[in-house]
Amino acid sequence: MVKYEPPLEKYSVNIREAIVGEGEKAIKIGGENTFPFHFFEGSLPNPPGLALEILDIQPENWAQWVLEPFQDVTFDPVRWAEKCVEVFGAEILCLRLLSTDPMGRDTSPREAARITKKLADSIDVPLIVWGTGTEEKDSQVLIEVARVCSGKNLLLGPVLKGNYGQIAKAALEYGHALVAQASMDVNLTKELNIALCKFFPAERIVIDTTASALGYGLEYTFSIIESIKQFALMDRDTMMQMPILADFGGDCWRTKEAKESKEQGIFWEAITGLTFLLAGANLLILRHPDALRLIKEMIS
């Protein structure tokens, strides 16, 4: 009797492996040569990175359910970060510098860098530092953060078409990685990566296509991430072979479904996260620690 051998797809290239952080707690993401969870077809050397977000100012208009775990520390981003690591087991953190928004408090680059440095010195896990998406101000802020936190291998973002040059030069000089963001467009993603790779190492770039919540455009985001991963592995496109980030916690907790109940909100975020992992994301930014716990359980 002939034994049945299922057909397997094998790919001759790998997604690049990016390293965030320093020392023993540094995290590797990417590195796979097959599609998500296809252990039977190839190698998936690094589990997805899961980050909890914190803000540099007290959050406003957060759903009560997501504010509960942090309500005793939101006044201090350093204590907030320490609680995420020590109590909730976060292995990566994402600091959002919301106070730097020119339409808000318009905190100076110097002050934002001071807060970032203080926080980075207080933890031993990798740190993502996120601006407000305002090109000119983000450029000033992230350049100063890169300088003050020299050698810490932060993941700085978002880097956009209009400000990538200066930020990338600072990241290169001071030893950091970048998140290249092109909103929901495969071609724009590739164009930005090509421009960056003219002078910045490809293995220090993470792609952000921008993300959306379950029931609010997730299918479109899923298809973009899936397409980038297919171009990378099946077409061997070197400008698509970077790890992918999905940042969606805030979008999930703004939905009416998440605001209706704690359990529904946690599941809304966790299901969104798992869906993006199935699409091909290598790094997730989450808001609720219970969503982090659920996704860890599902991965294991």
Distances, alpha carbon 289 to alpha carbons 54, 84, 119, 202, 205, in Å: 11, 8, 19, 32, 27
| Chain-centre distance for alpha carbon 232 | 19
Distance CA 118, CA 101 (A): 20
Share of the chain above pLDDT 70, in %: 100
Burial (CB count within 10 angstroms: exposed 0-12, middle 13-18, buried 19+), residue 23: exposed
Task: Look at residue 11 and tell me if it is in a domain.
Answer: no
Distance CA 18, CA 31 (A): 8
User: Residue 55 maps to which CATH number?
Assistant: 3.20.20.20
**Average confidence (pLDDT) over 260-289:** 98
Q: Quick: pLDDT tens for 27-78.
A: 999 999 999 999 999 999 999 999 999 999 999 999 999 999 999 999 999 9
Task: Look at residue 9 and tell me if it is in a domain.
Answer: no
User: Which token pair is 2?
Assistant: 């002939």
Query: Could you list the residue range(s) of the whole structural domain that residue 222 is in?
Result: 19-299
Distance CA 180, CA 207 (A): 5
Distance CA 300, CA 294 (A): 10
| pLDDT value at 6 more than 90 | no
Q: Quick: pLDDT tens for 237-248.
A: 999 999 999 999
Distance CA 184, CA 186 (A): 7
Residue 262 — very low, low, confident or very high, per pLDDT cuts 50/70/90? very high
| pLDDT value at 283 more than 90 | yes
Q: Quick: pLDDT tens for 62-118.
A: 999 999 999 999 999 999 999 999 999 999 999 999 999 999 999 999 999 999 999
Distance CA 42, CA 40 (A): 6
CB burial string 46-80: b at 16+ within 10 A, e below: bebbbbbbbbbbbbeebbebbbebbeebbeebbbb
Length reported for the chain: 300
> Domains in the chain: how many in total?
1
Task: Look at residue 201 and tell me if it is in a domain.
Answer: yes
Share of the chain above pLDDT 90, in %: 96
Task: Look at residue 139 and tell me if it is in a domain.
Answer: yes
| pLDDT value at 4 more than 90 | no
Task: Look at residue 5 and tell me if it is in a domain.
Answer: no
The pTM assigned to this predicted structure is 0.96
Task: Look at residue 4 and tell me if it is in a domain.
Answer: no
Give the pLDDT confidence score for residue 245 in this predicted structure: 98
Task: Look at residue 14 and tell me if it is in a domain.
Answer: no
Q: Beta strand pairing status for 17-20 and 155-159?
A: unpaired
Yes or no: say if 78 and 116 are a contact pair by the CB < 8 Å rule: no
